[in-house]
C-alpha cells in the first residue's frame, strides 16, 4: 500500500530518520496499528501543510533590529532640535569652533538612535553646504573603554588598513587630526556608553579629547564630541578641569510613557509587519509591559519582534496577547513556583480562573467579574465553597502585588467604573499547567 505525503513528505521523513527508524505503512501489520499510524500521519501532514502554506506576520524584520534607525523618532523632536541648535554654529563657521554635547538618559530612552539620526541629518546638511563633515559612532564598551582602540577605530574610518600596533593613543589622536587636515574634513565623534571610557581611562583620556585644540594653535577646529551615557552623576568621577569641558551642553532624555511607547510601536509595526497582523490591543499590551520595565523602548521593540516569532511558530496570522505573554516569559522569569506554592487554595483557584479566561480569549484584557465567574466554577470543580466578592477582591489585590496579574480600575461610560484585569508576565497555558500541578497537593 502506497501513500503520498507531498508537501509534508520531507517533514515526515526527517521525523522518522531522526529516530533512526524508517516507518512504512506496510510494516504495520495489525489493523489497529494501521489506524494509529494513519492518525499520526494525518497530524504530521496537516501540520506540515500549514507550515508550508502559512504567510509570516512579518513584512520586514530588519525594521525591528536593535541597530536600525528609523527615518523619524517619535517624541524626540524637541531633543533633536536642541542638538541642531548646539551644532548650528559649526555648520556656519566650521573652522572656528568645535562642539561638545552630552546625551544622557536611562536604558531604552533612545539615546543611540537620537545620536545616529542627528548625525546622519547633520552630515547631509554639511554636504549641501560643501562641507566635508563626517559622523563616526563608536561604542566605548565594545572597545573595552580603551581610548587607544576608540581612536584606532576613528583613524580606520579614513585609513582602513592603518596598523593596530606601534602607536600610542596620543599618536593616534595626532594621526586622526592629520587625516582631517589633509582632507579638509570635520568629524563628529559620538562616544556611546561613554561611562565605560570614564571607568577605564579616567580624567586623562577626557582631557586629551577635550583640550586637543590647545596643541593646535592657529589650526582649524575639526573634532566635535557627542558623549552618550546613562547617568550624569558618573561625571563626578572626573576632575574639575575635565568635567568643566563637558557639562555645558546636555540633552536629557526622559523615560517614555505608555502612550509614547504605543506611538513608537505603531511606527515599527507599520514598517515591519503585514497589514492587520498586530491588533491595537496587542500594541497597548506591549506598551504597558515595557512601561513596567522603566519605559524601555528597546525592550518594547524586542518584545514585539519575539511575539511575532511566536505567532509564526504557532502558524497564526496575528500577534495576539498569548504570543506576547510567551515572548515576555522568554525574556524575563515567568512563573515563580515558590511564590505560587505559597498561595492559599482560593488564591490559586482565582489565578487558575484568570489563566483559563485568557487561554480562551484573544484579548489582552478582561474584567474581574469574568474571572470571578470562572473562580466559582473552579471552586465547584475542587469541592470548595466560593468566597464573597469582597474576599475575591482581596485575593485579586494580593495576586496583583505579587505580579501574577495586573489590576486597573477603569471608567466605562455606560456602567460606571469596573476593574480591568490583564495577565502581564506569563503565558496563560503555562500558568494553568503550573497551578494544576500545585493544586494536586491540596487534594
Q: What is the pLDDT of residue 403?
A: 82
Domain ranges of the chain: 9-53, 61-65+257-331, 77-253, 337-442
Q: Which ranges constitute the DSSP H helices of 72-218?
A: 77-92, 111-128, 147-158, 169-183, 194-201, 203-210
Q: 178 is written with which cell numbers?
A: 592629520
Q: What is the pLDDT of residue 3?
A: 36
Q: Report the C-alpha gap between 194 and 204 in whole angstroms.
A: 14
Give mean pLDDT, residues 199-209.
Answer: 90
Which of 294-298, 354-358, 433-437 tops mean pLDDT? 354-358
Read off the pLDDT of residues 132-183 as tens digits, 9 standing for 90 and up.
999 999 999 899 899 999 999 999 999 999 998 889 999 999 999 999 999 9
Best CA proximity match to 391, nearest among 352, 344, 336: 344
Give mean pLDDT, residues 272-284.
Answer: 96
Contact 211/217 with Cβ under 8 angstroms?
A: no
Read off the pLDDT of residues 180-194 as tens digits, 9 standing for 90 and up.
999 999 999 999 999
CATH of domain 61-65+257-331: 1.10.8.60
**Residue appearing with cell numbers 497530524:** 43
Best CA proximity match to 221, nearest among 137, 133, 139, 127: 133
CA separation (Å) from 49 to 11, 42, 52, 57, 363? Answer: 10, 10, 5, 17, 28
What percent of the chain clears pLDDT 70, i.e. is strictly above it?
A: 85
Mean pLDDT over all residues of the chain? Answer: 86
Between strands 406-412 and 416-422, the pairing is antiparallel
3-state secondary structure of 228: strand
Q: Is residue 316's pLDDT more than 80? A: yes
Give mean pLDDT, residues 88-94.
Answer: 90
Read off the pLDDT of residues 37-82 as tens digits, 9 standing for 90 and up.
555 555 555 445 545 556 899 999 999 998 999 999 999 999 999 9
Contact 208/171 with Cβ under 8 angstroms?
A: no
pLDDT level of residue 372 (50, 70, 90 thresholds) = very high
Which of 206-215, 238-247, 319-328 tops mean pLDDT? 319-328
77-253 carries CATH number 3.40.50.1370: no
pLDDT level of residue 215 (50, 70, 90 thresholds) = confident
Best CA proximity match to 190, nearest among 251, 261, 109: 251
Q: What is the pLDDT of residue 321?
A: 94
Identify the residue with better confidence: 403 or 279. Answer: 279
337-442 carries CATH number 1.10.10.10: yes
Q: 175 is written with which cell numbers?
A: 594621526
Give mean pLDDT, residues 382-408.
Answer: 91
| List of residues 6+ apart from 295 with CB closer than 8 A | 106, 108, 109, 255, 256, 257, 260, 261
DSSP secondary structure string for all residues of 318-332: S--HHHHHHHHHHHS
Q: What angle do CA 203, 191, 66 make, to 5 degrees?
A: 145
Q: Is residue 26's pLDDT more than 50? A: no
Contact 227/191 with Cβ under 8 angstroms?
A: yes
What is the torsion angle, in degrees rounded to the nearest 10, for the CA atoms of residue 174, residue 179, residue 183 and residue 189? -80
Identify the residue with better confidence: 2 or 222. Answer: 222
Read off the pLDDT of residues 324-335 as tens digits, 9 standing for 90 and up.
999 998 876 556
Q: What angle do CA 397, 399, 403 make, to 5 degrees?
A: 110
Amino acid at each position: 500500500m502506497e501513500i503520498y505525503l507531498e508537501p509534508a513528505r520531507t517533514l515526515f521523513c526527517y521525523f522518522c530518520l531522526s529516530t533512526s527508524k524508517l516507518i512504512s505503512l506496510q510494516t504495520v501489520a495489525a489493523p489497529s496499528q494501521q489506524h494509529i499510524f494513519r492518525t499520526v500521519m494525518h497530524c504530521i501532514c496537516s501540520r506540515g501543510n500549514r507550515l508550508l502554506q502559512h504567510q509570516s506576520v512579518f513584512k520586514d524584520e530588519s525594521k525591528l533590529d536593535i541597530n536600525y534607525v528609523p527615518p523619524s523618532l517619535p517624541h524626540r523632536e524637541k531633543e533633536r532640535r536642541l542638538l541642531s541648535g548646539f551644532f548650528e554654529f559649526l555648520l556656519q563657521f566650521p573652522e572656528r569652533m568645535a562642539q561638545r554635547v552630552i546625551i544622557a538618559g536611562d536604558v531604552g530612552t533612545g539615546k543611540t538612535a537620537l545620536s545616529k539620526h542627528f548625525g546622519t541629518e547633520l552630515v547631509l546638511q554639511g554636504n549641501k553646504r560643501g562641507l566635508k563633515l563626517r559622523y563616526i559612532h563608536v561604542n566605548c564598551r565594545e572597545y573595552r573603554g580603551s581610548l587607544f582602540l576608540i581612536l584606532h577605530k576613528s583613524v580606520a574610518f579614513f585609513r582602513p588598513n592603518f596598523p593596530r600596533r606601534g602607536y600610542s593613543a596620543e599618536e593616534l589622536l595626532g594621526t586622526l587630526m592629520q587625516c582631517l587636515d589633509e582632507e579638509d574634513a570635520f568629524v563628529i565623534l559620538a562616544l556611546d556608553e561613554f561611562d565605560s571610557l570614564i571607568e577605564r581611562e579616567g580624567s586623562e583620556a577626557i582631557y586629551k579629547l577635550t583640550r586637543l585644540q590647545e596643541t593646535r594653535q592657529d589650526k582649524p577646529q575639526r573634532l566635535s564630541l557627542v558623549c552618550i551615557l546613562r547617568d550624569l552623576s558618573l561625571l563626578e568621577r572626573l576632575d574639575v578641569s575635565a568635567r568643566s569641558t563637558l557639562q555645558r551642553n546636555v540633552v536629557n532624555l526622559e523615560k517614555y510613557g505608555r502612550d509614547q511607547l504605543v506611538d513608537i510601536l505603531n511606527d515599527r509595526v507599520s514598517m515591519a509587519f503585514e497589514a492587520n497582523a498586530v491588533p491595537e490591543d496587542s500594541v497597548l499590551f506591549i506598551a504597558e509591559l515595557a512601561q513596567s520595565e522603566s519605559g524601555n523602548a528597546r525592550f518594547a521593540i524586542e518584545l514585539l519582534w519575539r511575539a511575532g516569532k511566536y505567532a509564526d511558530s504557532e502558524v497564526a496570522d496575528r500577534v495576539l496577547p498569548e504570543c506576547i505573554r510567551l515572548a515576555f516569559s522568554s525574556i524575563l522569569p515567568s512563573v515563580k513556583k515558590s511564590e505560587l506554592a505559597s498561595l492559599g487554595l482560593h488564591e490559586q483557584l482565582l489565578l487558575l480562573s484568570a489563566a483559563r479566561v485568557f487561554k480562551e480569549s484573544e484579548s489582552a484584557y478582561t474584567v474581574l467579574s469574568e474571572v470571578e465567574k470562572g473562580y466559582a466554577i473552579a471552586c465547584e470543580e475542587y469541592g470548595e465553597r466560593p468566597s464573597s466578592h469582597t474576599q475575591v477582591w482581596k485575593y485579586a489585590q494580593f495576586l496583583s502585588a505579587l505580579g501574577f496579574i495586573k489590576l486597573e480600575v477603569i471608567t466605562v461610560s455606560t456602567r460606571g467604573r469596573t476593574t480591568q484585569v490583564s495577565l502581564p508576565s506569563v503565558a496563560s497555558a503555562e500558568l494553568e499547567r503550573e497551578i494544576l500541578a500545585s493544586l494536586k497537593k491540596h487534594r
